[in-house]
Copies of this chain bind each other. A is one copy, B any other.
């Protein structure tokens, strides 16, 4: 197993324990039991915990421990989990399974799933704003701000809106390579970029260091999405090389459908190289983040 996958697994273990404890504390204060169960179903059901990994290893560039970066890592994972719960709803993507388990609306009901997502979004901001999460209020407020912008109408939620408009509304304009890249940069890229920036904030990075991590995150987010699309396209028809996977079946426009697999692969490679180049300022301390970028070129899950 690659060094990156070991580090990813470690990050997952640490953040999952933190979130289980934080949710337990909230439950002790009186979360309605059925809501508490559904929140645990949403948050503690596995997942790669890629965003917490990015927070940890961005913060580590500045000598910050995982412990100190935990509230930021846990918060961004709560945002990611809430977005999955809402995206899976019948009114959105109508998915019944996630990671081999029933989705929250399927295991409970639509209204509980909506409320789970709403509660998790609030919980994310509670985690990073809590006085005991960081002794520096400037860091707490900055973390909230970056996370809120990345999650909102100009970021994740806006990207999901554009994605659903393309799939559900009639008479939509034909997508362009540029419009798809913008949609993806909002829907998945914004949160990946925010994870890197939040690590920089916790690490009290200088502006040019924070900017470097932001650039890394933007290219990494693009690579992440193309690699996802390639997995989808190649997974179902590796031999033909045509994009005939789930996305194509759902009528979703992807870069691969527009560029073809060869050009998409080349785009992926360029994004990976650009992500790695942004880390130059950090020297070999950035090895874990470099590893994350390199793995986008050879994902198999």
Contacts and interface: CB of A to CB of B under 8 A. Distances in A.
Interface of A: 26, 29-32, 34-36, 39, 82-83, 86, 89, 91-92, 109-112, 114-115, 117-119, 121-123, 125-126, 129-131, 137-138, 140-142, 144-145, 147-149, 151-154, 157-158, 160-162, 164-165, 168
9 contacts: A34-B161, A35-B161, A36-B153, A115-B160, A121-B121, A123-B153, A125-B125, A129-B129, A137-B137
Total identical chains: 2
B114 A126 contact: no
Given A111-B92, A165-B32, A123 B148 contact: yes
Contacts of A114: 86, 89, 91-92, 114
B122 A161 contact: no
A155 B217 CA distance: 34
A128 to B, nearest CB: 8
Contact of A138 (B30, B112, B125, B137): B137
Contact of A117 (B29, B34, B118): B118
A32 B161 contact: yes
Nearest to A141: B140
B145 A131 contact: yes
A30 B122 contact: no
Interface centre among A123, A125, A158, A168 (most CB of B within 10 A): A125
A152 B111 contact: no
A157 B119 contact: yes
Given A111-B164, A144-B141, A86 B118 contact: yes
Contacts of A147: 125
A217 to B, nearest CB: 18
Interface centre among A29, A112, A129 (most CB of B within 10 A): A129
